[in-house]
């Protein structure tokens, strides 16, 4: 088992612990990328030089929330700097680590530049910080949170224990959130859209028909306890035995053998009392051509 990351305690305390004295100010002489703020620990940068991060776990940004933030920014400005790192793709761009919502709102508010703090960070730390910021602000839906945890485990060799330490969450919370990823896509879509809650979704894990029950949740406004009872009842229902196939009589079996000998292919006859079907099984296209030729009266 991998040991917890050494910076886990620092990250678990929150974003403020990350900034410290390591922020980089843009030199006043650098007119391309922004301008210094004379020792205040951050720089002002044109909004067009900031780009979204592919590691951003958040996928859904409620437009009404962004519009409300844009109104506040128009009146009071951007009060908290946006955390960025130099882009590995373009020297004149900076990738947003934390603060994409502020950046989007600033553009709606028609600001030309925003305060930024520049830090050198690797991909793993960027994803951890983005998760922390969004989780602390309750900005992630449960599915986005689960995908973020899964990426840290798959791409950066974390365990559930080390994630709990790094992110300041309990191991049971990490485990229960990851379990949401086993749900069928239809249920995950309802969760991502806020049609059902994370509690509803967790109750559906292991259900034989989770999408059907999810639709019932929406239709009837069921609470989590009601869903748990519904899932339990569906599991307790006795399974209906599959109908046994009717045994064929000797005449039918004899006819199958006769046709099989004539065609050189396996023939099955299914009779339901008033009608039925004859099935001829072939393995190659040549055999199929032979059947068609015979049925059409060819040699």
Instruction: Report the run of H or E that residue 277 belongs to, with start and end.
Output: strand 276-281
In a domain, 176, yes or no: no
Question: Parallel, antiparallel, or unpaired for β 276-281 and 266-271?
Answer: antiparallel
Whether 23 has a pLDDT exceeding 70, the answer reads no
Q: What pLDDT score was predicted for residue 238?
A: 58
How many helices (H) and strands (E) are present in the chain, helices listed first? 14, 8
Mean pLDDT (whole number) for 202-222 = 92
43/110 same-domain check: yes
Q: What is the pTM of this model?
A: 0.54
Closest CA to 152 of 129, 133, 136: 129
Residues 6+ apart with CB under 8 A from 246: none
Residue 209's CATH number: 1.10.10.2830
Of 72, 90, 118, which marks where a domain is finished? 118
Q: What pLDDT score was predicted for residue 144?
A: 85
Domain around 58: 23-118
Q: Which two tokens stand for residue 277?
A: 């079907």
50/106 same-domain check: yes
The 10s digit of each residue's pLDDT in 51-66 is 988 887 777 777 888 8
194/280 same-domain check: no
110/194 same-domain check: no
Whether 22 has a pLDDT exceeding 80, the answer reads no
Radius of gyration over alpha carbons of the chain, in Å?
Answer: 31
Residue 92's CATH number: 3.90.1530.30
Whether 168 has a pLDDT exceeding 70, the answer reads yes
- Nearest-angstrom CA–CA distance, 147 and 58: 9
199/265 same-domain check: no
41/106 same-domain check: yes
In a domain, 209, yes or no: yes
Of 118, 134, 160, which marks where a domain is finished? 118
Q: DSSP secondary-structure letter at 140?
A: S
Q: What pLDDT score was predicted for residue 145?
A: 86
Q: What pLDDT score was predicted for residue 5?
A: 45
Q: How many domains does the chain have?
A: 3
In a domain, 172, yes or no: no
254/229 same-domain check: no
Of 102, 118, 134, which marks where a domain is finished? 118
- Please say whether the beta carbons of 200 and 182 come within 8 A: no
114/29 same-domain check: yes
In a domain, 68, yes or no: yes
| SS3 call for 85 | strand
38/98 same-domain check: yes
Q: What pLDDT score was predicted for residue 26?
A: 47
Catalytic option among 25, 95, 100, 128 = 100
In a domain, 109, yes or no: yes
In a domain, 166, yes or no: no
Q: What pLDDT score was predicted for residue 298?
A: 58
CB-side exposure of 114: number of CA atoms within 13 Å?
Answer: 33
In a domain, 243, yes or no: no
124 catalytic, yes or no?
A: no
The 10s digit of each residue's pLDDT in 110-157 is 999 998 988 888 888 888 887 777 666 656 788 888 988 888 888 888
In a domain, 113, yes or no: yes
Phi and psi at 178, nearest 5°, equal: -65, -30
77/109 same-domain check: yes
């Amino acid at each position: 088992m991998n040991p917890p990351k050494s910076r886990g305690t620092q990250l678990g305390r929150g974003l403020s612990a990350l900034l410290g004295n390591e922020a980089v100010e843009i030199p006043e002489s650098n007119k391309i990328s922004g301008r210094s703020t004379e020792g205040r620990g951050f720089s002002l940068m044109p909004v067009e030089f900031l780009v979204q991060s592919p590691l951003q776990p958040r996928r859904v940004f409620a437009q009404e929330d962004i519009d409300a933030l844009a109104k506040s920014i128009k009146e009071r400005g951007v009060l908290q700097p946006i955390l960025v790192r130099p882009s590995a793709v373009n020297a004149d761009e900076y990738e947003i680590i934390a603060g994409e919502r502020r950046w989007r709102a600033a553009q709606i508010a028609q600001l030309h530049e925003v305060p930024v703090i520049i830090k050198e960070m690797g991909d793993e730390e960027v994803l951890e910080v983005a998760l922390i910021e969004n989780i602390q602000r309750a900005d992630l839906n449960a599915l986005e949170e689960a995908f973020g945890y899964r990426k840290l485990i798959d791409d950066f060799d974390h365990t559930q224990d080390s994630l709990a330490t790094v992110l300041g969450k309990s191991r049971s919370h990490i485990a229960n959130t990851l379990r949401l990823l086993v749900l069928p896509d239809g249920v995950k879509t309802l969760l991502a859209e806020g049609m059902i809650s994370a509690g509803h979704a967790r109750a559906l894990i292991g259900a034989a028909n989770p999408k059907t029950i999810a639709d019932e949740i929406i239709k009837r406004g069921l609470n989590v306890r009601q869903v748990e009872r519904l899932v339990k009842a569906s599991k307790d229902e006795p399974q209906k035995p599959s109908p046994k196939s009717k045994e064929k009589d000797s005449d039918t079996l004899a006819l199958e053998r006769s046709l099989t000998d004539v065609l050189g292919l396996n023939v099955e006859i299914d009779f339901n009392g008033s009608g039925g079907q004859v099935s001829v099984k072939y393995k190659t296209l040549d055999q199929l051509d032979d059947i068609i030729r015979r049925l059409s009266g060819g040699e």
